[in-house]
Structure 1
Amino acid sequence: MPRQEDSDAGVPITELSCQGENKGEPAQQRQSWSRHLEYMLTMVGFCVALGNILRFPYICNRNGGGAFLIPFILLLCITGFPSFFVEATISQFSGKGAKKVWSFCPLLKGVGVGSLLMNCLYMPYYTLFLAWSIYYMVKSCSSVLPWTTCGNSWNTDLCVEDANTTYNDNNTFMARNTSEAITLKGYRENGTRTPAEEFFRYNVLNVSTGLEDVGAVQWHIVGCLCASYVIIFLCLIRGIKSSGKAVYVTALLPYVLLTSLFITVLQEPGALDGLYHYIIPDFTKLHDIKVWLEACLQVFYSLGVGFGMIGTAASYKNFHASCLKDCLILTIVSEGTSIFSGLVTFATLGFMSQKVDVPIGTVVANGPGLGFVTYPAALAQLPLPQLWSFLFFLMLLMVGLDTQFLAVEVLVTALIDQYPRKLSQWRMLVTGGYCLIVFLLGIIFCTQGGPYMFQLVDWYVFSLGPMVICSLECVAVAWIYGTNRFSRDVETMIGKPLPMILKILLAVITPAILIVTFILTLLRYQPPTYGKYEFPSYAPAIGWFIAVLPLLPIPVYMVITVRKHMATNSVKKSVRLALRPDDEWHPAITRSPQDYGINRQDNKRITTLSSYCCANNEA
């Protein structure tokens, strides 16, 4: 149990819940998780995203296999976990979403708006993963899987059915629809493609010649995209009350399917070779700074910090729930799943490489190429290929849905927090309206030129925002709000202060590493690519605008916040006032800062920003 009294917090803990009952008109009751398990499952589903399943295995293998786990786990502990903990804890303490939570430092409220913008930018194209999964699920019900044959209307003369090729003594095979033998090396150089590649490229995407050739809308994908948003809306129709029930299926089913697939594939020849290829360490790779950089980036991609979703989910938690234990469990489960998905992936690739008699390195892929080309081709070699294909894409759908639940909820929560009395009773309409708007925006990615737009947005949208936002979160909490004050807030919730190691990480180590990673990312910048296609010269300008857009609210809100105080104060004093918690900052179980014990008169001794920071840390 929490301590009965904390003189720094201002009021006895046992009295917090009954304060402020007569403060004018009663506020709308905010939703909360029906059970703590629902929150944990929602966060497991969010953290275990498509990046864990489709990106981590490739990144790990490319950067030293088992040796990559050394920088990955180290950076998870000193950057990923602290960032995750801060984002979750300040929202759990205040019961506020992505924008309102920055009441603890109004000068940086633009950070919360930036995280909302990132969600708005990525959701229209990210939901295509769900649409593709639904389309593949439908096609998996065919008597013959369409990505296993070359005799279809979308196939070209370069299509080669790997599973039906005949091998000669000189390691060549006869392509069924060409008149000459092609060596394995020539198979790559000639530009020939497997049926799975051509199905994805010419049936699913029907890709055009370039970014400027938008082409026709692919209505079969639009229909699947619409189905994705209908599912999302139905699961969120009552907010977290309904999504909390859906995650019992969407968060747990992927583990059942992934484990079943792993057990099945392990019984096939070549699976152990794939595992060996995945986990064998290459310690020489650790001398390359690129490996450490990619480890840090992968930690952030897989945990999803900086998008406001972690904080939004935590804002609905019970005030006294153990934030530290929950964050520790979630980070372990998330990255443990990444490692396990790598085992499943490379066991499958090892089996596939032996089946078609090609080196495993030639079938290793990343992202959509792994999920919608390599995996379908590999699963087609298993007994009951239709069943395994259907289950695999059902798993991808479940994993994607969990992420999109919070992507929608983060904006809906922000709107309702901003206008609680007007929108609380219209939550269903707000959710439906947002889903409709994002669906309409997503249609542009369903055109023939959509894949190029998809690649351009995906290349830039996360390049700046997450690192900058997480760095500012750590700096704001540790150096402006104060680690000691933050520690007292944690103690108010769970009865224990912040561990000293976390104070050190938040104040120095985590922001320093994030800043260095951010700088190195900019220095190692490369223009976007899509296979052999070269983007027009203006494409990077569009990309950088997308990258910078989530950061623009930060200076804008700084100016707005300072100007609010300048009517009666100097610029210097206005900045100091903008750095202090405003009237909306208080624990979720109180209704006003007076109940929390914030007294602005206590800060009269502060004359500069540095002295303010020191005062909070020495309090």
Structure 2
Amino acid sequence: MKEDASEKDKYPGLVNTNKTEMDMNGDAGAAMAEEALDTISHSKERGVWGTKAEFILSCVGFAVGLGNVIRFPYVCYESGGGAFLIPFCVFLVIAGVPMFFLELAIGQFSSSGPITVWKCVPLMGGLGYCVCCICFLLTFYYSVMVAWCIYYLYHSFSSELPWSLCYDDPRCIGVPCNNSQVKSGDGIEVVDCKKQQMSPASLFYFKNLLGVTASIDEIGDFQWHIAVCLFITWLLIFLALIKGIHSLGKVAYFTSVMPYFLLTALLVFALTLEGSLNGIRFYVEPDFNRLSDPLVWKSAASQIFFSFGIGWGCLIAFSSYSKFDNNCLRDAVLVSILDCATSIFAGFVIFAIMGFMAHQQGSSVAEAIENTPGLAFVVYPTIVNEIKWPQLWAALFFVMLIIIGCDTLFALVEGVITALCDRFPQELRTKKMYATLVYCLLSLFCGVFLCFGNGLYVYTLFDSFVANINLVVIGILELVLISWVYGADRFIDDINFMLNKQISKVWKWAWAIVSPLSLFLVLVASLIKYKGASVDTLYGEYKYPLWCECIGWSMVVLPFMFIPAVAVSKISSTPGLSLSEKLTKLTKPDTSWGPRNIDDWYRDRENRPELYEKNDRYDEIKESNA
């Protein structure tokens, strides 16, 4: 390509270095040298954010998603309300902000996606593929929740909102329960309606939306309405990403701001309802006995990772498009605080409404609603029923959920596509639109399997395993690799060079000791106390059978198989050295590691030659360009 030729003409020493690599190491060395040249000379093709605001708003849109508005209240409710806020805030400080900053900094310094960024520790290059695999699993099941939002939006235009009606179902609050048993369509006794009273919104969620069956073994009917909404979801994602970050940045101006206006309006109205203060009291008053449960701490750590998007590769991908001297420290602190504040703010909205629901039912807040991942699909519609012009508010609310859900999906898809395009620039970078199309179609196909009557069970299985333990493990690996293998001192020196100012050594101790140790302790304790996955449905609490647990744990373990696989491949392809020498070489940065822009790459080696003297022949390059 034209740009490649101009870079080679501009820096002939780089080509000479590559020739030396070829002479020394044969075919393998030639391949490594060519890859190094391609890595540096393709910087102009990647693109950058149009403005600083586009980057910030895209990060906010990614971080502030359904994880804040839907998943945070669900996990908080599951973990005892106020008791959850303490470990959540603790992990925000000791893990959330440090890891957010780490991922932004390493992506910006190297201008690399989640795969090629691990050229700083080539032996662990498989971690990037592991992240992409988990990202894909997150993408296709997360998109189903956005499809649910689209279905609710469609029904928001009904003359009478369907989730406000009981349809004479005896399980519905306010409908007489003449018979102790409610029978399903095939005549099987399923639930005691005297013991399980539900709100109209709960029944709509379980029956009309999901058509939920009694167990995961019962596949149930195919829910065509969810499949159609899922297709619309992926069409929106593809259209938004058709031009990569250039289109994503423009979309973020609208999608990142609107949710705050609607959440504020809903909170103001919720506080006028009777019983709302009881819900808020449950939310802010901790039960200190719950703090002794390591699962509460594990849930807090997992929610930080899920909400911030740590370990997903998206933050690395986003920051890789930033200017080299962008103040990523300020960005990390700003977005992290905003994300945490949004989660807590959304919690006030949810729990105020739950207090009202508990008052209606004559129950405690802890017993007011079924604890499901779709908790918000029950709580928010309930408050909408009480507002004047409910159709308008319902439409606005579900548009908001669709927007913030799509924001997260934008980031997940862009993160994987960026990683693949950086890893295979010759094959994919000029065909990025087609790569995005294939990814969207594949995700749509996989998501269809969640459109059956047992879809809620499958969804919860993914949510219980994919978005929990493995994200914490990835976080620990990232911290250990950067702090102890690549070197925390060197990484801080990289950041100082990039930002042209000195950052505090506190970050070194956070990355090297505090964050990984706290995450490791929570991981071990949660594994010891693990009790098995479960979900509340129309038929009561459902505990997953052993075969489901095996599938769940396989989704945790299998993505990490990329790490030893790539390590073995790297070791076998490194020529002419003993095993110990190969390991030593592969735990040091690759020849092409450093700033992607070739001017920054040379400036880095000019200012800090001691860091690179063992990894490349900068002196030869310098002399040839003299």
Same fold (TM over 0.5): yes
Q: Going by fraction, where is helix more abundant, 1 or 2?
A: 2
Is residue 532–residue 543 contact of structure 2 (8 Å, CA) maintained in 1? no
Distance 2:142 2:132 in 1: 15
Cα 1:304–1:188, aligned 2, differ >3 Å: closer, same or farther? farther
Matches within 5 A, 1:16-27: 20=11, 27=42
Scaled by the length of structure 1, what TM-score is found? 0.86
Distance 2:397 2:373 in 1: 14
Distance 1:482 1:41 in 2: 31
**Counterpart residue number, 2:65:** 49
Q: 2:552 aligns with which of 543, 547, 551?
A: 543
**Counterpart residue number, 2:381:** 376
What SS does the corresponding residue of 2:45 show, helix, strand or coil? coil
1:501 aligns with 2:517: no
**Counterpart residue number, 1:392:** 397
Which amino acid in structure 1 is aligned with residue 261 of structure 2?
Answer: V
Distance 1:212 1:61 in 2: 28
Equivalenced residues, count: 568
Distance 2:316 2:171 in 1: 48
**Counterpart residue number, 1:280:** 285
Which amino acid in structure 1 is aligned with residue 456 of structure 2?
Answer: P
**Counterpart residue number, 2:103:** 87
Distance 1:452 1:534 in 2: 10
Is residue 584–residue 592 contact of structure 1 (8 Å, CA) maintained in 2? no
Listed as ranges, the gaps of 5+ residues in structure 2 are 1-6, 16-37, 181-190, 616-626
**Counterpart residue number, 1:239:** 244
In the TM superposition, what is the alpha-carbon distance from 1:212 to its structure 2 partner? 3.1
**Counterpart residue number, 1:564:** 573
**Counterpart residue number, 1:159:** 171
In the TM superposition, what is the alpha-carbon distance from 1:262 to its structure 2 partner? 1.3
Matches within 5 A, 1:242-261: 242-261=247-266
Q: More displaced, 28-37 or 290-299?
A: 290-299
Listed one character per residue, the Cα deviations across residues 456-508 of structure 1 (whole Å, up to 9, x for unaligned) are 22222134321221111111111111122111110111112331111111111
Is residue 136–residue 393 contact of structure 1 (8 Å, CA) maintained in 2? yes
**Counterpart residue number, 2:337:** 332
Matches within 5 A, 1:259-408: 259-364=264-369, 366-408=371-413
**Counterpart residue number, 2:582:** 574
Which amino acid in structure 2 is aligned with residue 460 of structure 1?
Answer: F
1:105 aligns with 2:150: no
Distance 1:273 1:108 in 2: 50
Is residue 109–residue 320 contact of structure 2 (8 Å, CA) maintained in 1? yes
1:114 aligns with 2:130: yes
**Counterpart residue number, 1:612:** none
Is residue 105–residue 579 contact of structure 1 (8 Å, CA) maintained in 2? yes
**Counterpart residue number, 2:591:** 583
Cα RMSD (Å): 2.8
Which amino acid in structure 2 is aligned with residue 551 of structure 1?
Answer: F
1:533 aligns with 2:538: no
Is residue 52–residue 337 contact of structure 1 (8 Å, CA) maintained in 2? yes
Distance 2:490 2:254 in 1: 39
Distance 1:179 1:454 in 2: 32
1:448 aligns with 2:453: yes
Listed one character per residue, the Cα deviations across residues 233-281 of structure 1 (whole Å, up to 9, x for unaligned) are 1111111110111111111111111111112222333333332232234
Listed one character per residue, the Cα deviations across residues 280-321 of structure 1 (whole Å, up to 9, x for unaligned) are 344454454444333323222221211101111111111111
Distance 2:546 2:286 in 1: 40
Is residue 65–residue 404 contact of structure 2 (8 Å, CA) maintained in 1? yes
Listed as ranges, the gaps of 5+ residues in structure 1 are 1-15, 166-174, 181-185, 605-619
Q: 1:129 aligns with which of 142, 145, 151?
A: 145
Distance 1:187 1:271 in 2: 29
**Counterpart residue number, 1:428:** 433
What SS does the corresponding residue of 1:208 show, helix, strand or coil? coil
Listed one character per residue, the Cα deviations across residues 171-192 of structure 1 (whole Å, up to 9, x for unaligned) are xxxx346379xxxxx9986234
Is residue 147–residue 199 contact of structure 1 (8 Å, CA) maintained in 2? yes
What SS does the corresponding residue of 2:125 show, helix, strand or coil? helix
In the TM superposition, what is the alpha-carbon distance from 1:601 to its structure 2 partner? 8.0
Is residue 54–residue 366 contact of structure 1 (8 Å, CA) maintained in 2? no
Q: 1:150 aligns with which of 155, 159, 166?
A: 166
Q: 1:516 aligns with which of 509, 512, 521?
A: 521
Is residue 151–residue 229 contact of structure 2 (8 Å, CA) maintained in 1? yes
**Counterpart residue number, 1:555:** 564
Distance 1:21 1:332 in 2: 46
Cα 1:45–1:572, aligned 2, differ >3 Å: closer, same or farther? same
In the TM superposition, what is the alpha-carbon distance from 1:425 to its structure 2 partner? 2.5
Listed one character per residue, the Cα deviations across residues 69-89 of structure 1 (whole Å, up to 9, x for unaligned) are 333222211111111111111
Distance 2:263 2:557 in 1: 37
Distance 1:284 1:215 in 2: 41
Cα 1:564–1:190, aligned 2, differ >3 Å: closer, same or farther? same
Distance 2:51 2:57 in 1: 10
Distance 1:450 1:282 in 2: 34
Q: More displaced, 105-114 or 24-33?
A: 24-33
1:226 aligns with 2:228: no
Distance 2:12 2:415 in 1: 28
In the TM superposition, what is the alpha-carbon distance from 1:364 to its structure 2 partner? 4.7
Distance 1:518 1:269 in 2: 41
Distance 1:159 1:114 in 2: 45
Matches within 5 A, 1:57-96: 57-60=73-76, 63=79, 65-66=81-82, 68-96=84-112
Is residue 471–residue 515 contact of structure 1 (8 Å, CA) maintained in 2? yes
Which amino acid in structure 2 is aligned with residue 33 of structure 1?
Answer: W
Cα 1:421–1:277, aligned 2, differ >3 Å: closer, same or farther? same
Cα 1:20–1:472, aligned 2, differ >3 Å: closer, same or farther? farther
Scaled by the length of structure 2, what TM-score is found? 0.85
In the TM superposition, what is the alpha-carbon distance from 1:44 to its structure 2 partner? 0.9
Is residue 353–residue 379 contact of structure 2 (8 Å, CA) maintained in 1? no
**Counterpart residue number, 2:178:** 178
**Counterpart residue number, 2:3:** none
**Counterpart residue number, 1:172:** none
Cα 1:360–1:199, aligned 2, differ >3 Å: closer, same or farther? same
Distance 2:105 2:179 in 1: 65
Is residue 66–residue 404 contact of structure 2 (8 Å, CA) maintained in 1? yes
**Counterpart residue number, 1:417:** 422
Q: More displaced, 515-524 or 33-42?
A: 515-524
What SS does the corresponding residue of 2:386 show, helix, strand or coil? coil
Distance 2:589 2:603 in 1: 14
Distance 2:492 2:569 in 1: 30
**Counterpart residue number, 1:474:** 479
Which amino acid in structure 2 is aligned with residue 140 of structure 1?
Answer: S
Which amino acid in structure 1 is aligned with residue 582 of structure 2?
Answer: S
Distance 1:281 1:208 in 2: 35
Distance 2:364 2:421 in 1: 54
Distance 2:467 2:170 in 1: 36
Listed one character per residue, the Cα deviations across residues 343-371 of structure 1 (whole Å, up to 9, x for unaligned) are 11122222333345443332255553322
Cα 1:544–1:232, aligned 2, differ >3 Å: closer, same or farther? same
**Counterpart residue number, 1:206:** 211
What SS does the corresponding residue of 1:29 show, helix, strand or coil? helix
1:484 aligns with 2:526: no
Is residue 464–residue 548 contact of structure 1 (8 Å, CA) maintained in 2? no
Is residue 201–residue 378 contact of structure 2 (8 Å, CA) maintained in 1? yes
Listed one character per residue, the Cα deviations across residues 555-582 of structure 1 (whole Å, up to 9, x for unaligned) are 11111112222x3100000000000111
Cα 1:93–1:189, aligned 2, differ >3 Å: closer, same or farther? farther
